[in-house]
């Protein structure tokens, strides 16, 4: 199954056509992940190194969000129909 495309070819929201904005990831606080060496007290040479990448942002630390959120049910349904016919 293909993942639905939420950004159109111009970099706008595929649901409503509004501009997208970069937002820091809420799951990793914009860090892209965290350091987890498995030790309670880390003695690593580089304790700032990310060892576990964030699954929400794929390690990017940010993602695009539509500036016109929330979308109406009508907008979402129209987008779903368009995606299904593509």
What pTM does this model have?
Answer: 0.62
CA separation for the pair 54, 68 (Å, rounded): 25
Residues 78 and 54 both lie in one domain = no
Residues 51 and 72 both lie in one domain = no
Total domains in the chain come to: 2
Residues 15 and 31 both lie in one domain = no
Q: How far apart are the first and last CA of the chain?
A: 14
Tens digits of residue pLDDT in 11-65: 899 999 999 999 999 888 888 887 777 666 677 767 677 778 888 888 899 988 9
Tens digits of residue pLDDT in 16-27: 999 999 999 988
Task: Answer yes or no: is pLDDT of 8 > 70.
Answer: yes
Indicate the pLDDT class of residue 1, thresholds 50, 70 and 90. very low
Q: Which domain covers residue 82, as residue numbers?
A: 1-19+67-86
């Amino acid at each position: 199954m293909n993942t639905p495309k939420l950004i159109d070819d111009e970099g706008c929201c595929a649901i409503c056509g509004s501009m997208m904005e970069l937002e820091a990831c809420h799951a990793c606080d914009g860090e892209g992940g965290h350091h987890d060496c498995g030790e309670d007290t880390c003695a690593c040479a580089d304790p700032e190194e990310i060892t576990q990448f964030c699954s929400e942002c794929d390690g990017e630390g940010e993602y695009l969000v539509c500036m016109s959120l929330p979308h109406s049910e009508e907008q979402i349904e129209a987008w779903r129909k368009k995606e299904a016919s593509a």
